[in-house]
Amino acid sequence: MPQYDYVVVGGGTAGSVIASRLTEDPSVTVAVIEGGPSDVGRDDVLTLRRWMGLLGGELDYDYPTTEQPRGNSHIRHSRARVLGGCSSHNTLIAFKPLPSDWDEWAERGAEGWDAASMEPYFGKLLNNIVAVDEKDRNAIARDFVDAAQAALGVPRVEGFNKRPFDEGVGFFDLAYHPEDNKRSSASVAYLHPVMDERPNLTLLLETWAYRLELDGSRARGVHVRTKDGEEVYVEAAREVIVCAGAVDTPRLLLHSGIGPREQLEALGIPVVHDLPGVGENLLDHPESVIVWETHGPIPENSAMDSDAGLFVRRDPEFEGPDLMFHFYQIPFTDNPERIGYERPPHGVSMTPNIPKPKSRGRLYLTSKDPEVKPALDFRYFTDEDDYDGRTLVDGIKLAREIARTEPLASWLKREVAPGPEVTGDEELSAYARQVAHTVYHPAGTCRMGASADELAVVSPDLTVRGLTGIRIADASVFPTMPAVNPMIGVLMVGEKCAELLTGSDA
Ligand SMILES: Cc1cc2nc3c(=O)[nH]c(=O)nc-3n(C[C@H](O)[C@H](O)[C@H](O)COP(=O)(O)OP(=O)(O)OC[C@H]3O[C@@H](n4cnc5c(N)ncnc54)[C@H](O)[C@@H]3O)c2cc1C
């Protein structure tokens, strides 16, 4: 039976950070159980601009969503099956969470996760975080930035991570190497430089963790299935750290009998530890899309086809931005086409996004068979006040204002979707929700909270409530959604977890 000091389940975004940091000490042994293959030498993975080619492919677990009465039921959630996890698959937009994001966590019981305490972890990140390079700044994206500034009066931002902001428009910071468009993913930054040099780091690739082993309330190890179908038990002398992401972490806990008693009993899964919050609080950043045809083709240069964005604060009382836009240098018509719109030969899109959505979803099992994918019910746009739906309507209206403004206006031939005839709030809302998509930010399904919080799954030291020898570190521990894209927050969770582990050794 193989035994390691630490067993990290998931060599993804947070898992890569933790495995790398723990093995800085040559006396500590770590095994990483990773469901996917290595990303080393794979141009299809390592070239940032090829990210869209990975969606739905052999490196994507590709999770469907349940029927969404007020949203789009056709959304598929890409989750990467490769070393580096979703940081090997995503667009690498790199935002340090805003101070208000961390402070909100602390207010909700995540003691020690306030903005001042979290700031140092950003400085520790090994990823190459840089603004979109000049050569990658497409002319139409530059004109979008100018038009948004002129139309809405928001400041132009050069370097969104330099200081906190409530509003602003500009090119993103990305975790990439502009000279060859290569990713600076978690695996590239944290594992590639050390993986051949550290005998204390073992990567068990294409190996799937299907059950956690507990001895009473203490986690002892993980049951895994290798690529060849062999079942192996991997033991952790010190701790198991689950980093399988916001979908697969609760999935693994539930199949191990850790979760809401009622759900487990109904499926015939023996209850090992009744923990009602597992799978609850499913968060995401949904967005909608407005598409324009352009008069002609768009220049080719880009980092990843959505290099600039806009943040707006509609409500001056709100802490941070309350509406966000990605600007796509492509006609992003996957969902509009499903309801009859046509893809123009060339075009652009703006995607109004809800930084702080109020709707809350839920992940649950429908079968005791670990092979069956869990149900993801995001309950998009179901919040009581329809705050989420209204945000998209406001977004479409603002997008139109920007499109009417030079220097963007003269690029645009016509609005393709929803089309200029769709103007009423109800019609706009119906369109916006029907064609809504995800930017793949599921989070919150094993959320962190104070000891008195019955629905918290992990404590502020990331240990699973009521158990020992097991922590969770990935997007599932987010108590609430940051207003910005979450990857940097996940990397910082990884850094903090590594420090908690090495600190607790002392
Ligand atoms: C297409 C796409 C675009 C995105 N764009 C951005 C962006 O531009 N900026 C941003 O901030 N965020 C973006 N995100 C979101 C961001 O990438 C994620 O929030 C973040 O990477 C999640 O990290 P994680 O550690 O929680 O999970 P992951 O990185 O998904 O890691 C989980 C790992 O665990 C492995 N695993 C899962 N289950 C098991 C199991 N049972 N056994 C063994 N291994 C297992 C998986 O193979 C994976 O490697 C995007 C995501 C996607 C998919």
430 φ, ψ (degrees, to nearest 5): -60, -45
- Determine how β-strand 470-472 pairs with β-strand 231-242: parallel
Q: Could you tell which of 9, 13, 493 is best to mutate to test the pocket of ligand 1, judged by most ligand atoms within 8 Å of the CB?
A: 13
Beta-bridge partner residues of 312: 323
In this structure, the residue with its CA closest to atom 20 of ligand 1 is 487
Are 307 and 279 in contact, with CB atoms under 8 Å apart? no
CA of 17 relative to ligand 1 center, distance in Å:
13
Atom of ligand 1 nearest to the CA of 11: 49
Length of the chain (residues) = 506
The encoded tokens of residue 387 equal: 């705050």
For the Cβ of 471 lying below 6 angstroms from any atom of ligand 1, the answer is no
CA of 78 relative to ligand 1 center, distance in Å:
9
Q: Which sequence spans correspond to the domains of the chain?
A: 1-128+182-281+358-380+440-506, 133-171+286-356+381-435
Rg for the chain, CA atoms, rounded: 22
Mean pLDDT of 456-461: 98
For the Cβ of 486 lying below 6 angstroms from any atom of ligand 1, the answer is yes
For the Cβ of 92 lying below 6 angstroms from any atom of ligand 1, the answer is yes
With cut-offs at 50, 70 and 90, classify the pLDDT of residue 463.
very high
CA of 245 relative to ligand 1 center, distance in Å:
6
For the Cβ of 493 lying below 6 angstroms from any atom of ligand 1, the answer is no
CATH 3.30.410.40 for domain 133-171+286-356+381-435, yes or no, is: yes
Mean residue pLDDT across the chain: 97
- How is 361-428 classified by DSSP, letter by letter? BEEE-S-S-TTSPPEEE--TT--TT-HHHHHHHHHHHHHHHHHTSTTTGGGEEEEEES-TT--SHHHH
Homologous superfamily (CATH) of 1-128+182-281+358-380+440-506 is FAD/NAD(P)-binding domain (3.50.50.60)
CA of 469 relative to ligand 1 center, distance in Å:
24
For the Cβ of 33 lying below 6 angstroms from any atom of ligand 1, the answer is yes
CA of 324 relative to ligand 1 center, distance in Å:
21
CA distance 238 to 220: 8
For the Cβ of 252 lying below 6 angstroms from any atom of ligand 1, the answer is yes
pLDDT digits (tens, 9 = 90+) for 240-275: 999 999 999 999 999 999 999 999 999 999 999 999
CA distance 428 to 189: 43
Check the annotation: does 9 bind a ligand: no
CA of 377 relative to ligand 1 center, distance in Å:
18
Q: Could you tell which of 51, 86, 497 is best to mutate to test the pocket of ligand 1, judged by most ligand atoms within 8 Å of the CB?
A: 86
**Is-cis flag, bond preceding 407, omega within 30?**
yes
For the Cβ of 87 lying below 6 angstroms from any atom of ligand 1, the answer is yes
Atom of ligand 1 nearest to the CA of 12: 31
Catalytic positions, please?
441
Residue 42's nearest CA partner among 57, 63, 21, 61 is: 57
For the Cβ of 80 lying below 6 angstroms from any atom of ligand 1, the answer is yes
Is pLDDT at 168 greater than 80 in this prediction?
yes
Is pLDDT at 368 greater than 80 in this prediction?
yes
Mean pLDDT of 289-295: 98
Q: Quick one: what percent of the chain has pLDDT higher than 70? A: 99
Whether the CA torsion 479, 483, 486, 491 is positive or negative: it is negative
Mean pLDDT of 108-119: 98
Is pLDDT at 85 greater than 70 in this prediction?
yes
CA distance 79 to 56: 9
- How is 15-72 classified by DSSP, letter by letter? HHHHHHHHTTSTT--EEEE-SS---TT-HHHHBGGGGGGGTTSTTB--EE----TTS-
